[in-house]
Amino acid sequence: MQDPVKDRGVLGLPQVIALYTGAVLGSGILILPGLAAELSGPASLVAWAMMALLVVPMALTMGFLAARYPDAGGVSSFVARAFNPEIGSLVGWFFLLSTVVAAPVIALTGAGYLCAATGLGEGAKFLVATAMLATALLVNYLGMRMTGQVQVAVVLTIIIVLVVAIIGSVPAISMENFFPFLPNGWMSVGHTAAVIFWCFLGWEAISHISGEFADPQKDTVRGTLVAAAIVSILYILSAIVVIGTMSYGAALSDTSLVHIIRAAFGPAGAVVAGIAALFICIAPAIAYTGAASRLTCSLARNGFAPRLLAWRSATYHSPAGGLLFLAASYAVILLVSYAGAVPLSVLIQVPSGTFILTYVGGCAAGIVLLKGSRWGVPVSIVSLLLTGAIFLFVGWAVLYPLAITAIWCVFMAVTGRYRGILANGPS
């Protein structure tokens, strides 16, 4: 699907761990502990524990694939290699159109935290979010890559903010807030697990740059395991604090981290958290914009998107066509949110189905491509089953991948690409 990454040997194990941790431990930590508690109460801890278990085989599947096939095409290229380019293109569109919604949600989350901490209004939130997305687009247009050193700094910032929030909130935790434990039934726990799947995304994005690891065969798996442990521990501890201090519900769920830091350390601490949240969110916005813009150009070059989107900047050799597509898409999502047509708590659920299906495709590819690996096929099978089970709880969000698939089918029929599926078959 995409050209392999040519620059190798750049990133060592510490940078690999930071890249994985930073990509996964992003904006979700700022909003989803509160939203999850609002959906299923204290029982949301069960959903967090379920996802902490699911993340291990899921992350390892992506890690094994990236180690064996370090390629800039990511999951789309894995699926194309395992089955055929046409099915790979559908998975590519799932990832691309997930990013179209996810990046604005990330920006709005970071901007919301900053504005909540500083007392700025809704108008300022959208201006800040627009500036964040514009920065992500500009950085990628200029060809600037997020280096391992920058990612290490971002990850340390996230960890410091979370540790400060957790330690400072311990005195305010009350065991009474953990009862009733299951206020909305067990089905709400399954739905919550599907929603917080958002928090464990990012392994697929780093697969786009695995070719730049100094030792992808070793460092990819090592980095994956260490990052998975860090992410799971911090998410669960944050969820315990949010529930134990009742920092959710009403107007609190979207800004629960700011609320608990303000309660523990006063207004100054909340401002620091708001500024940190801004940088926490801009890093994944830049990363996902870079991955999606390059994927857009790849799809266009291979005939799975309009050729205009394959345009690259003559000066910077950056994916200008893909960036223009993303800029227009981001603008639409921001306008929809600004108009109040879709609340952020709803908007964040829209891409959950497509993100999950991206992983389903990657896990299915792992079963085919990782034959001969001691653990590759078993973890791919477990991850496929568990990820497929989570997909059953996406609810109304299934409409988004269904709409994408319907449009893709029309495109394939009009262009005659169905013949390619019949001719190529599985690779």
Helix, strand, or coil (residue 213): strand
Largest CA distance in the chain: 65
Report yes or no on 390 lying in a domain. Answer: yes
Domain span holding position 391: 13-424
Helix, strand, or coil (residue 11): strand
The predicted structure's pLDDT at residue 349: 83
Of 67, 71, 53, 79, whose CA–CA distance to 426 is shortest? 79
Report yes or no on 335 lying in a domain. Answer: yes
CA distance 350 to 327: 19
Q: What is the percent of the chain where pLDDT is above 90?
A: 35
Helix, strand, or coil (residue 211): helix
Report yes or no on 114 lying in a domain. Answer: yes
pLDDT band at 288 (very low <50, low <70, confident <90, very high): confident
**Packed helices 399-415 and 352-369: angle between N→C axes, nearest 10 degrees:** 60
**Packed helices 256-265 and 85-118: angle between N→C axes, nearest 10 degrees:** 30
pLDDT band at 2 (very low <50, low <70, confident <90, very high): very low
Taking the mean position of all CA atoms in its chain, how far away is CA 94?
13
CA distance 112 to 101: 16
Average pLDDT rounded to a whole number, residues 128-136: 93
Residue 73 per-residue DSSP state: T
For residue 268, give every residue at least 6 positions away whose Cβ sits within 8 Å of its Cβ, in sequence order, or none: none
Report yes or no on 264 lying in a domain. Answer: yes
Report yes or no on 218 lying in a domain. Answer: yes
Give the model confidence (pLDDT) of 223-261 as tens digits.
Answer: 999 999 999 999 999 999 999 999 888 677 666 777 777
Give the model confidence (pLDDT) of 195-212 as tens digits.
Answer: 887 688 788 877 767 767
For residue 278, give every residue at least 6 positions away whose Cβ sits within 8 Å of its Cβ, in sequence order, or none: 110, 111, 113, 114, 128, 132
The predicted structure's pLDDT at residue 4: 43
Report yes or no on 109 lying in a domain. Answer: yes
Rg (CA), the chain: 21
The predicted structure's pLDDT at residue 419: 57
Please count the structural domains in the chain.
1
CATH number of the domain enclosing 419: 1.20.1740.10
Amino acid at 189: V
Question: pTM for the complete prediction?
Answer: 0.80
Of 175, 231, 184, whose CA–CA distance to 48 is shortest? 231
CA distance 64 to 314: 35
- Whether 230 contacts 162, CB under 8 Å: no
CA distance 102 to 391: 18
CA distance 12 to 1: 26
Give the model confidence (pLDDT) of 254-276 as tens digits.
Answer: 667 777 777 777 777 777 778 77
pLDDT band at 414 (very low <50, low <70, confident <90, very high): confident
Q: What's the token pair of residue 80?
A: 């194309």
The predicted structure's pLDDT at residue 10: 64
Report yes or no on 2 lying in a domain. Answer: no
- Whether 34 contacts 242, CB under 8 Å: yes
CA distances for 109 relative to 17, 154, 281, 334, angstroms: 24, 16, 7, 12
Give the model confidence (pLDDT) of 59-110 as tens digits.
Answer: 999 999 988 888 767 788 899 999 989 999 999 999 999 999 999 998 998 8
Instruction: Identify any residues that bridge with 213 across adjacent strands, giving them in sequence order.
Output: 11
Give the model confidence (pLDDT) of 290-345 as tens digits.
Answer: 888 888 888 888 888 888 999 988 887 788 999 999 999 999 999 999 988 888 87
Report yes or no on 41 lying in a domain. Answer: yes
Upstream peptide bond of 180 is cis (omega within 30 degrees of 0): yes
CA distance 370 to 372: 6
- Whether 174 contacts 263, CB under 8 Å: no
DSSP H helices, 254-347, are: 256-265, 267-301, 320-338, 344-347
